[in-house]
Structure 1
Amino acid sequence: MAHIDNLVASIADPALREALQAEIRKLAGNRQLGLVFNEHKPESVLLYGQTRVRKGDKVQVMADGSRDRTRVDDTGIWRVAAISGDTATLVHKADPAQLRQVPRERCVVTREFGDPVFPGLRSTGKVERGGDKTYHTVINGENFHVLQALQYPYAGKVDAIYIDPPYNTGARDWKYNNDYVDDMDPYRHSKWLSFMQKRLELAKELLNPESSVLIVTIDEKEVNRLGMLLDQVFPRVTKQLITIVINPNGSARRNELARVEEYAYFLSIGNVAPSSIGVDTLADAPANSSNNEPVRWERLLRGGDTARRADRPNLFYPVFVDVQARKIVEVGDPLAATTPRASVESRPGCVAVWPLRTNGDEGRWRVSASTLRSLLEQGHARLGAYDARADRWSVLYLGRAQIRRIQEGELLVVGRDDQGAVVVERGDQQQVRPSPKTVWNLNRHRAGEFGSSLLRRLLPDRSFPFPKSLYAVEDCLRMAVAEKPEALVVDFFAGSGTTTHALMRLNKQDGGKRRSISVTNNEVSPEEATSLRAAGHFPGDPEWEALGICEYITVPRITAAVTGMTSAGEAVKGEYKFVDEFPMAEGLAENVEFFELTYEDPNLVSLGRKFQAVAPLLWLMACAQGERIDSVADAGWAVPDDAVYGVLFAPEVWSDFVEAVNARAGTSNPLTHAFVVTDSETEYRQIIAKLPSGIVSQQLYRDYLRNFEINAGR
């Protein structure tokens, strides 16, 4: 630059010299440092379900002879100039001199990223087992536009974002502008970076700038580019890269080392520090903690594919239980391999507990009959809980590691319970819980066993490629929001719904009321798309939509986790492991509602004719809790007893609304939000001035419309 400055200074013509200096300053100011990539043609989304085409809409035209509304010709984007009957007159976006007339039904409404969108939400169902808890939310829609929609209720309010974006492997794992990006695309990495940058910039606006965490998982193909992109979008933010072993056996690669790991970037924003996840992340050993932490009792029933009776017949024997006294009274002898268990006589007043697997097959215990008798005598074994749904009891015992800790004085026996089992507490020496390390090598993070296999338990009749280990996501979220029992967590690459599932488990473990917003689309796999098209089904058809990821995987998986019933209508088999062990069939005490993103006409919104579409966004702003106001009230205002917000639809009845809101201020359930429908800024200010202090207020529909007009072009 110094040499250029000297050359410019030597120019005699002052006008030319000044002009060149001005242009050089522009170039220097625009120079990109760090990661440089192309801004590709704007991403767009085809609203193939929006069949009503209006004047002014951007559209593309369906390919000749096709009935598939996602197959458009190569003429680009047009704008609807006029509509006469069933014919639309189109003007080309790039060349206004081009005119075209096509049947209105052949036009497919298109939204380019950068166009203002006015989103709504349409409820498609819910599952409720959490009483008055807040609701988790699952949204089916283009995640860029959903992120725009979430700016309205949640800008700067999100505590954590966890995403597992497409890894850009070249194996048709993601699309750019409706086309799969494969490994032959010379702009594959650049398209991926452009795709990610747009979404990360919106995510940044959602995160609480004072205290929040962003977690992004990735593999080796884009880990370095992603790191540089995160530096550009989140400058001056603490960023660490975590290596997570997900497959100790390794995934074979031709002429390469077998891959055992993937990565997770943790960005700590503001005043936030990682919480302990309870184990040494390298040693897979329990972390030391406070004296009142419960001591782990193991289940006597052995799990795994080789835990059959035929594998070890000497470990198949009855345990006789006095149901009234709720204790083990006798340990029977092992049966010969060919002896049916029905031949064993029960004991008076007792039931025989056998090592039966969750599918009813005969399994085996972990220890021999003689060892179990010895454990009972020492108080190191006891009867566990009764599973009413499976009609069986569990048997628990202290493993060798726990017994050794008793012998070494780390654990203290302070008494015995009603069964004669020892009551154990930790010793007086209190140690600090270790901070998580940057390498995680834990058995519970194996993607095969605790991702794919666990998902098959919930959805035995369906498949999904490469789901994350439930416990790996749980540990990531624990590190981010363990100290925030009412945290709001967003995942806009939700996939099978592991983030919501993991957050619900965290809530069960500590009584938290955290809630999630998970976003996914409803795309089908390439193979399914081919077979559906061959059968004459296209996007928008019920047969197609039923197999989309949201409807076929995400919603059923989360429903199964809450209800304890599989997608096939049976009790979920197996048990959760590690931090909180209990039968998966018990389900989780949570509430979840499912939505679809809609695109609304701003003119109809401003006229109050689209309140039903906007209503869920108001409910989300009021923390997705209590009753939702879904329609315009005849009285002109609504303050339901079970809601935490109110809406004034008709300003002329403002006094009744204000009286109802103020009446709730002194109760145990005061309102947190108030929405006032009026075009007058003065009238709005006068009304909210009479509301209790602390209530968050919004002017409808001005604030809604202004939000999305301002956020256009991000």
Structure 2
Amino acid sequence: MSRLTDLLAQARKTDPQLAADLEAEFRQLTQRSQFGLVFERHQPEAVELPGRPVRRGDTVRVLPPRGSLTIGDTRHWVVTDLERTPDGKQAHLTEADVDPEVREPATSTAALEDLVVVARFEDPIYPGLVETGRVENGGDKPFHTVINAENFHALEMLTYTHRHKVDCIYIDPPYNTGAKDWKYNNDYVGKEDDYYHSKWLSFMQSRLEVARDLLNPSDSTLIVTIDEKEYARLALLLEKIFPGAKMQMVSSVINPRGIVRGNEFARSNEFIYYLRLGAARIAPESIENSSGSPVAWETMRRRSIAGARGRRGAGACGPNQFFAIHVDVASGAIVGRGEPLPLTAQVADYRAPRGCVAVFPARDDGTEMNWSLTHTAFDERWSKGYVRAGKATPDKPQKYIIQYILGGVIDDIESGRVNILGRNPDGSIKAEYLESKERMAHSQWNIPSHNAQQHGTGLLEDLMPKRKFPYAKSLYAVEDALRFVVASKPNALILDFFSGSGTTAHAVMRLNKQDGGRRQCISVTNNEVSADEQKGLRKKGLRPGDAEWEQWGICDYVTKPRVTAAITGRTPAGDPIKGEYKFTDEFPMADGFEENAAFFTLTYEAPRQVRRNRAFARVAPMLWLKAGSRGRIISSLPERGWDVAQAYGVLEDMDHAPEFLAALEADPQVGMAFIVTDSEVAFQSVARQLPEHATAVRLYESYLHNFQINRRA
């Protein structure tokens, strides 16, 4: 329900008449016509954090008993105290979000194991990261990262590490079809919900507003895929959040056979919004003519009437351009020519060699024309295979169509830009262009490689046999969508915060292989278990947060194994992946990629612990991300109080600043220096002495300040 509906419900309990009057006014307001995007302002979104330790002051929900299939008590409570009892740890609770002027908030107690922490989006968070694995096959290349997190909170975390640094965001959000494909406030949203459109818009708005802070405002692109259910509302929302962006929509066929939903046209396409910020441009697509497009052959007879035999003035031809070309009747090949005929000579008097037809240039109405070549130019081109007899036309004045290759194409052939494949039986060349041509892609895409069933779901089964993921995107469709905006950016940073199976990261790896790029992809996905699987797990007495539950989540069961399999070329079972990549770059999938990837889970830290330098191990991966995700992570500091890795350094003990500064000076690849101090004077003293290639960042002041100001209502 919307926030206004909740407030009316509270008012009804204390003053029914006032509530009735307010509802009547509310109905009048909702009947007014509105132009543009208008949707309900809902209760602030919240997300449950299973596995997060319960602390005093936390907002929590009481879970139903293990084995129950009901949602249970949906109220939020605040933990006022914690105590040990003979039965285990207990929490004292006070009901949250209750106006004390309306009624007294309820109180209760519950076992800690029956509570789950709830994070509300209007509250600031202090995130950390725990590394859960990595795969290294790319030498000194930067790492791709996969983050298991609620994506709004992951985006908040990235405002510290990547504010205004992202070159491209590609997202494939829930399409809001009414199926159980997404949750709002920990419950699935279906079509029967009166507010399912506005809940989806609220859900998208909160994330897109943070994403806007991550994109490089001077040159970046947002790509969003959607279907017909929400494309119109999404367009208005995007215009609202990105008012200065250049927006265009592409229609892309993803299922040529179509999917029928009741009495509707069979759905075969989806839509892709491109929003370009600043100087961002769409690159032309390359058309490789060497894939079967031959060189052009032109008709050798002059077309303009000014080129008729005997004409004078502009465009007229000389006497050496009217002669017979001898074509062998049996083979259809040119075997020679006659001498140029003077204007007084008659074509009817000309005798061709035995077995040949004399072909003179003539229009279908009998008008005698001229050839585009003189007799000597004809000899030169014919000898090189640049002239040929085409289709026979025995019922017309000109008995064969004579074709030739233009001078510009000959220049391409002789400069090596055309591939000579051989010669035809008549001696004419067979040739195709080697160099590519470019054109702007159309906004209608009907490309076989974008078939989601074959190259999304099917390819995923090759990578991870027996592991299912619904509605996987075609790898090549995502690759092509990205290529238009990052082809000229070999060091681009790409973010996907609705990562799902990890297709975007996989596509970025393919782009890197094709041009030697060092692009990075940050993939954010949660570890949600599908609605159908949840029922079976709950019957077994399992809950989110239990290891036996979490192993079936999207991130652990699909995303991380898919990224690992793509890099290593081996399935989760350790077998070489069968099959080959197709289209732009074809090679065995078992070859893998020369890439690196690291996997993390988002944590929620207490700001007091951060300020006291007691959460360094969980803040450390964020420093590594902020410095470019290269090399090792400085997860703890040695006794000397400082360390320098490939991309950054950390100084904690000011007494050792000279050694730290010397290490930075010796390594020009170190781009950031994190200095842990409460003293602004000490920070500035070290910062002034840093080498030019290093940027100073103060801990933990910069971290705490970032998330304090990021509070969003």
TM-score norm. by structure 1 comes to 0.73
Q: How far off is 1:627 after superposition? A: 1.9
Alpha carbons of structure 1 residues 675 and 257: separation in structure 2 relative to 1, 3 Å:
same
8 Å contact from structure 1 (residues 662, 692) kept in 2? yes
Query: Structure 2 counterpart of 1:88, which letter?
Result: A
Query: Structure 1 counterpart of 2:708, which letter?
Result: E
Matching residue of 1:618: 623
User: Does residue 519 of structure 1 match 2:524?
Assistant: yes
Matching residue of 2:37: 35
Q: What is the CA–CA distance in structure 1 between the aligned matches of 2:419 and 2:279, rounded to whole Å?
A: 41
Deviations along 1:431-475, whole A, 9 cap, x unmatched? 750011111111111111111111111111211111111110000
Q: What is the CA–CA distance in structure 2 between the aligned matches of 1:252 and 1:101, rounded to whole Å?
A: 51
Q: What is the CA–CA distance in structure 1 between the aligned matches of 2:484 and 2:710, rounded to whole Å?
A: 32
Which stretch shows the higher mean deviation, 561-570 or 470-479? 561-570
Q: What is the CA–CA distance in structure 2 between the aligned matches of 1:634 and 1:33, rounded to whole Å?
A: 64
Deviations along 1:386-441, whole A, 9 cap, x unmatched? xxxxxxxxxxxxxxxxxxx99x979734699xxxxxx999659x775001111111
TM-align CA RMSD: 2.6
SS for the counterpart of 2:197 is helix
Matching residue of 1:412: 418
Q: 2:647 aligns with which of 637, 644, 647?
A: 644
Alpha carbons of structure 1 residues 573 and 69: separation in structure 2 relative to 1, 3 Å:
same
Q: What is the CA–CA distance in structure 2 between the aligned matches of 1:244 and 1:36, rounded to whole Å?
A: 28
SS for the counterpart of 1:468 is coil
8 Å contact from structure 2 (residues 283, 440) kept in 1? yes
8 Å contact from structure 1 (residues 611, 632) kept in 2? no
Matching residue of 2:230: 222
Q: How far off is 1:54 after superposition? A: 1.9
Alpha carbons of structure 1 residues 424 and 90: separation in structure 2 relative to 1, 3 Å:
farther
Which stretch shows the higher mean deviation, 575-584 or 653-662? 653-662
User: Does residue 193 of structure 1 match 2:197?
Assistant: no
Deviations along 1:633-659, whole A, 9 cap, x unmatched? 21111114xx22100011232222122
Alpha carbons of structure 1 residues 636 and 256: separation in structure 2 relative to 1, 3 Å:
same
SS for the counterpart of 1:433 is strand
Matching residue of 2:60: 59
Q: What is the CA–CA distance in structure 1 between the aligned matches of 2:526 and 2:167, rounded to whole Å?
A: 23
Deviations along 1:661-699, whole A, 9 cap, x unmatched? 2232xxxx4310000000111211111001012422211
Matching residue of 1:315: none
Q: What is the CA–CA distance in structure 2 between the aligned matches of 1:516 and 1:433, rounded to whole Å?
A: 27
| Structure 1 unmatched runs, 5+ | 1-26, 279-285, 289-294, 299-404, 417-422
Q: What is the CA–CA distance in structure 2 between the aligned matches of 1:412 and 1:84, rounded to whole Å?
A: 82
Alpha carbons of structure 1 residues 653 and 68: separation in structure 2 relative to 1, 3 Å:
farther
SS for the counterpart of 1:674 is strand
Matching residue of 2:323: none
Matching residue of 2:454: 449
User: Does residue 263 of structure 1 match 2:256?
Assistant: no
Q: What is the CA–CA distance in structure 2 between the aligned matches of 1:249 and 1:560, rounded to whole Å?
A: 30
Q: How does 1:553-568 map to 2 (within 5 A)?
A: 553-568=558-573
8 Å contact from structure 1 (residues 137, 595) kept in 2? yes
8 Å contact from structure 1 (residues 46, 70) kept in 2? no
Deviations along 1:53-84, whole A, 9 cap, x unmatched? 22221222223x3478995513x222222223
Query: Structure 2 counterpart of 1:73, which letter?
Result: D
Deviations along 1:326-380, whole A, 9 cap, x unmatched? xxxxxxxxxxxxxxxxxxxxxxxxxxxxxxxxxxxxxxxxxxxxxxxxxxxxxxx
Q: How far off is 1:297 after superposition? A: 9.4
Query: Structure 2 counterpart of 1:39, which letter?
Result: R
Matching residue of 1:283: none
User: Does residue 93 of structure 1 match 2:96?
Assistant: yes
Between Structure 1 and Structure 2, how many residues are aligned? 549
Matching residue of 2:371: none
Alpha carbons of structure 1 residues 415 and 175: separation in structure 2 relative to 1, 3 Å:
closer
User: Does residue 46 of structure 1 match 2:78?
Assistant: no
8 Å contact from structure 1 (residues 172, 180) kept in 2? yes
Alpha carbons of structure 1 residues 109 and 458: separation in structure 2 relative to 1, 3 Å:
same
Matching residue of 2:73: 73
Alpha carbons of structure 1 residues 270 and 70: separation in structure 2 relative to 1, 3 Å:
farther
Q: What is the CA–CA distance in structure 2 between the aligned matches of 1:70 and 1:690, rounded to whole Å?
A: 61
Query: Structure 2 counterpart of 1:614, which letter?
Result: V
Q: What is the CA–CA distance in structure 2 between the aligned matches of 1:102 and 1:585, rounded to whole Å?
A: 52
Q: What is the CA–CA distance in structure 2 between the aligned matches of 1:231 and 1:266, rounded to whole Å?
A: 12
Q: What is the CA–CA distance in structure 2 between the aligned matches of 1:425 and 1:34, rounded to whole Å?
A: 56
8 Å contact from structure 1 (residues 70, 539) kept in 2? no
Deviations along 1:604-636, whole A, 9 cap, x unmatched? 111111111001000001110012111122111
Q: How does 1:565-584 map to 2 (within 5 A)?
A: 565-584=570-589
Matching residue of 1:153: 161
Query: Structure 2 counterpart of 1:193, which letter?
Result: L
Matching residue of 2:442: 437
Q: What is the CA–CA distance in structure 1 between the aligned matches of 2:430 and 2:536, rounded to whole Å?
A: 60
Q: How far off is 1:48 after superposition? A: 1.8
8 Å contact from structure 2 (residues 78, 95) kept in 1? yes
Alpha carbons of structure 1 residues 277 and 452: separation in structure 2 relative to 1, 3 Å:
farther
Query: Structure 1 counterpart of 2:680, which letter?
Result: E
Q: How does 1:280-679 map to 2 (within 5 A)?
A: 286-287=287-288, 295-296=290-291, 412-413=418-419, 427=433, 432-640=437-645, 643-664=646-667, 669-679=668-678
SS for the counterpart of 1:448 is helix
Considering only CA atoms, is the larger Rg found in Structure 1 or Structure 2?
2
User: Does residue 249 of structure 1 match 2:254?
Assistant: no
| Structure 2 unmatched runs, 5+ | 1-28, 294-408, 423-428
Query: Structure 2 counterpart of 1:442, which letter?
Result: I
Q: What is the CA–CA distance in structure 1 between the aligned matches of 2:657 and 2:492, rounded to whole Å?
A: 34
8 Å contact from structure 2 (residues 80, 91) kept in 1? yes
Query: Structure 1 counterpart of 2:228, which letter?
Result: E
Q: What is the CA–CA distance in structure 1 between the aligned matches of 2:192 and 2:205, rounded to whole Å?
A: 22
Deviations along 1:459-513, whole A, 9 cap, x unmatched? 1121111111111000011011001000000000001100000000000000000
Matching residue of 2:349: none
Q: What is the CA–CA distance in structure 2 between the aligned matches of 1:224 and 1:519, rounded to whole Å?
A: 26
Q: What is the CA–CA distance in structure 2 between the aligned matches of 1:101 and 1:449, rounded to whole Å?
A: 53
SS for the counterpart of 2:223 is strand
User: Does residue 274 of structure 1 match 2:273?
Assistant: no
Alpha carbons of structure 1 residues 81 and 259: separation in structure 2 relative to 1, 3 Å:
same
SS for the counterpart of 2:152 is helix
Deviations along 1:113-161, whole A, 9 cap, x unmatched? 1111111111111111111110000001100000000000100000000
Alpha carbons of structure 1 residues 678 and 33: separation in structure 2 relative to 1, 3 Å:
farther
Q: What is the CA–CA distance in structure 1 between the aligned matches of 2:48 and 2:70, rounded to whole Å?
A: 7
8 Å contact from structure 1 (residues 411, 425) kept in 2? no
SS for the counterpart of 1:505 is helix
Matching residue of 2:124: 116
Query: Structure 2 counterpart of 1:648, which letter?
Result: L
Q: 1:138 aligns with which of 146, 157, 160?
A: 146
Q: Percent identity?
A: 50
SS for the counterpart of 1:232 is helix
Query: Structure 1 counterpart of 2:246, which letter?
Result: T
Matching residue of 1:168: 176
Q: What is the CA–CA distance in structure 1 between the aligned matches of 2:579 and 2:254, rounded to whole Å?
A: 21
Q: What is the CA–CA distance in structure 2 between the aligned matches of 1:193 and 1:545, rounded to whole Å?
A: 29
Q: What is the CA–CA distance in structure 2 between the aligned matches of 1:542 and 1:66, rounded to whole Å?
A: 15
Q: How far off is 1:87 after superposition? A: 3.2
